[in-house]
Amino acid sequence: MQRKSLYTAEVYDHCLARIDRLTPDTSPDWGTMTPAQMFAHCAEVQEVSNGSRELVGTPLLLRLLGPLIRRAVVSDRPYPRDTRTHPQYRQTERRDFQAEKKRLLLALEALRRAEDEPPPRHPLFGTLTPDERGWSSYKHLDHHLRQFGV
Protein backbone atom coordinates (compact mmCIF):
# COMPACT_ATOMS: atom_id res chain seq x y z
CA MET A 1 0.00 0.00 0.00
CA GLN A 2 1.43 3.37 -1.00
CA ARG A 3 1.76 5.77 1.92
CA LYS A 4 -0.56 8.71 1.46
CA SER A 5 -1.47 11.45 3.89
CA LEU A 6 -4.60 13.43 4.58
CA TYR A 7 -2.24 16.38 4.98
CA THR A 8 -1.63 16.25 1.21
CA ALA A 9 -4.19 18.43 -0.59
CA GLU A 10 -4.62 16.08 -3.55
CA VAL A 11 -5.16 13.03 -1.33
CA TYR A 12 -7.54 14.94 0.96
CA ASP A 13 -9.60 16.26 -1.96
CA HIS A 14 -9.77 12.80 -3.50
CA CYS A 15 -11.09 11.37 -0.22
CA LEU A 16 -13.72 14.12 -0.03
CA ALA A 17 -14.84 13.24 -3.57
CA ARG A 18 -15.08 9.58 -2.59
CA ILE A 19 -17.18 10.49 0.46
CA ASP A 20 -19.50 12.53 -1.78
CA ARG A 21 -20.14 9.47 -3.98
CA LEU A 22 -21.79 7.65 -1.06
CA THR A 23 -25.55 7.68 -0.58
CA PRO A 24 -27.62 6.45 2.37
CA ASP A 25 -28.41 3.34 0.33
CA THR A 26 -24.86 2.39 -0.70
CA SER A 27 -24.28 -1.25 0.26
CA PRO A 28 -21.01 -2.37 1.80
CA ASP A 29 -18.85 -4.94 0.04
CA TRP A 30 -18.17 -6.41 3.49
CA GLY A 31 -19.31 -5.81 7.05
CA THR A 32 -22.65 -4.72 8.41
CA MET A 33 -22.37 -0.94 8.84
CA THR A 34 -24.52 1.43 6.84
CA PRO A 35 -22.86 4.46 5.24
CA ALA A 36 -24.17 6.64 8.08
CA GLN A 37 -22.73 4.27 10.69
CA MET A 38 -19.41 4.22 8.82
CA PHE A 39 -19.33 8.04 8.86
CA ALA A 40 -20.04 7.98 12.61
CA HIS A 41 -17.34 5.36 13.17
CA CYS A 42 -14.72 7.28 11.16
CA ALA A 43 -15.68 10.58 12.81
CA GLU A 44 -15.37 9.07 16.29
CA VAL A 45 -11.95 7.60 15.48
CA GLN A 46 -10.78 10.91 14.01
CA GLU A 47 -12.14 12.95 16.92
CA VAL A 48 -10.20 10.78 19.39
CA SER A 49 -7.09 11.13 17.24
CA ASN A 50 -7.63 14.91 17.08
CA GLY A 51 -7.87 15.06 20.87
CA SER A 52 -11.40 16.51 20.78
CA ARG A 53 -13.06 13.36 22.16
CA GLU A 54 -11.97 11.15 25.04
CA LEU A 55 -11.50 7.41 24.54
CA VAL A 56 -13.47 5.65 27.27
CA GLY A 57 -14.09 2.07 28.27
CA THR A 58 -10.84 0.66 26.92
CA PRO A 59 -10.56 -2.96 28.04
CA LEU A 60 -7.36 -3.85 29.90
CA LEU A 61 -6.26 -6.20 27.11
CA LEU A 62 -6.46 -3.38 24.55
CA ARG A 63 -4.44 -1.08 26.81
CA LEU A 64 -1.78 -3.77 27.16
CA LEU A 65 -1.75 -4.39 23.41
CA GLY A 66 -1.61 -0.67 22.56
CA PRO A 67 2.00 -0.76 21.29
CA LEU A 68 1.24 -3.75 19.05
CA ILE A 69 -1.93 -2.16 17.72
CA ARG A 70 0.02 1.05 17.09
CA ARG A 71 2.46 -0.87 14.88
CA ALA A 72 -0.43 -2.22 12.81
CA VAL A 73 -2.00 1.24 12.57
CA VAL A 74 1.15 2.90 11.23
CA SER A 75 2.36 -0.06 9.13
CA ASP A 76 2.14 -0.14 5.35
CA ARG A 77 -0.16 -3.14 5.41
CA PRO A 78 -3.86 -2.46 4.80
CA TYR A 79 -6.36 -3.43 7.47
CA PRO A 80 -7.95 -6.84 6.97
CA ARG A 81 -11.68 -6.87 6.34
CA ASP A 82 -13.83 -7.19 9.45
CA THR A 83 -11.03 -6.09 11.79
CA ARG A 84 -12.30 -5.78 15.37
CA THR A 85 -12.52 -2.29 16.79
CA HIS A 86 -12.53 -0.53 20.15
CA PRO A 87 -15.93 -0.82 21.89
CA GLN A 88 -16.43 2.97 21.69
CA TYR A 89 -16.11 2.88 17.90
CA ARG A 90 -18.70 0.14 17.29
CA GLN A 91 -21.78 1.44 15.52
CA THR A 92 -24.98 -0.48 16.07
CA GLU A 93 -27.51 2.33 16.42
CA ARG A 94 -29.31 3.89 13.48
CA ARG A 95 -27.54 7.09 12.36
CA ASP A 96 -28.55 10.11 10.29
CA PHE A 97 -26.58 10.09 7.03
CA GLN A 98 -26.26 13.86 6.56
CA ALA A 99 -25.50 14.59 10.22
CA GLU A 100 -22.79 11.92 10.41
CA LYS A 101 -21.31 12.97 7.07
CA LYS A 102 -21.06 16.54 8.32
CA ARG A 103 -19.50 15.33 11.58
CA LEU A 104 -16.86 13.35 9.67
CA LEU A 105 -16.07 16.28 7.39
CA LEU A 106 -15.64 18.56 10.43
CA ALA A 107 -13.29 16.03 12.07
CA LEU A 108 -11.23 15.81 8.88
CA GLU A 109 -11.09 19.61 8.61
CA ALA A 110 -9.87 19.78 12.21
CA LEU A 111 -7.09 17.32 11.38
CA ARG A 112 -6.01 19.49 8.45
CA ARG A 113 -6.13 22.73 10.46
CA ALA A 114 -3.86 21.19 13.10
CA GLU A 115 -1.21 19.98 10.64
CA ASP A 116 1.46 22.38 11.90
CA GLU A 117 0.63 21.90 15.58
CA PRO A 118 2.16 19.20 17.77
CA PRO A 119 -0.13 16.16 17.50
CA PRO A 120 -2.10 15.33 20.64
CA ARG A 121 -1.09 12.19 22.51
CA HIS A 122 -3.31 9.33 21.41
CA PRO A 123 -4.79 7.45 24.39
CA LEU A 124 -3.71 4.03 23.03
CA PHE A 125 -0.86 4.73 20.62
CA GLY A 126 0.97 7.54 22.37
CA THR A 127 2.38 10.42 20.36
CA LEU A 128 2.33 9.89 16.62
CA THR A 129 4.61 11.87 14.34
CA PRO A 130 2.85 14.15 11.85
CA ASP A 131 3.73 11.66 9.09
CA GLU A 132 2.26 8.77 11.10
CA ARG A 133 -0.84 10.78 11.92
CA GLY A 134 -1.51 11.87 8.32
CA TRP A 135 -0.87 8.34 7.07
CA SER A 136 -2.88 6.49 9.72
CA SER A 137 -5.84 8.85 9.29
CA TYR A 138 -5.77 8.25 5.54
CA LYS A 139 -5.31 4.49 5.94
CA HIS A 140 -8.35 4.16 8.22
CA LEU A 141 -10.60 6.35 6.08
CA ASP A 142 -9.48 4.60 2.88
CA HIS A 143 -10.23 1.20 4.45
CA HIS A 144 -13.83 2.21 5.06
CA LEU A 145 -14.31 3.98 1.75
CA ARG A 146 -13.10 0.79 0.02
CA GLN A 147 -15.60 -1.10 2.20
CA PHE A 148 -18.31 0.81 0.33
CA GLY A 149 -16.71 0.54 -3.08
CA VAL A 150 -15.63 4.17 -3.45
The dihedrals phi and psi of 65, each to the nearest 5 degrees, come to -90, 5
Whether 59 is covered by a domain: the verdict is no
Question: Distance between CA 3 and CA 129 in Å, rounded?
Answer: 14
Q: How many domains does the chain have?
A: 1
Helix residue spans in 51-95 (DSSP H) = 60-64, 66-74
Residue 4 domain-assigned (yes or no): no
Q: Count CB neighbours of 21 within 10 A.
A: 11
> How is residue 53 annotated by DSSP?
S
Tens-digit pLDDT profile for residues 71-127: 999 999 999 998 889 999 999 999 999 999 999 999 999 999 999 888 899 999 999
In a domain, residue 66? The reply is: no
What is the chain's alpha carbon radius of gyration, rounded to the nearest angstrom?
Answer: 14
What pLDDT digit, counting tens, does each position of 25-79 carry? 999 999 999 999 999 999 999 999 999 999 999 999 889 999 999 999 999 999 9
**DSSP 8-state symbol, 118:** P
Instruction: Please work out, in degrees rounded to the nearest 5, the angle formed at the alpha carbon of residue 23 by the alpha carbons of 88 and 87.
Output: 10
Amino acid occupying residue 84: R
User: Is residue 102 assigned to a domain?
Assistant: yes
pLDDT at residue 28, as a whole number? 98
Tell whether 69 is covered by a domain. Answer: no
Q: 31: which residues sit within 8 A by CB, 6+ positions away?
A: 81, 82, 147
Residue 62 lies in a domain: no
Residues of the domain holding 36: 9-54+74-147
Q: Is the pLDDT of residue 1 over 80?
A: no
| Residue 67 maps to a domain | no
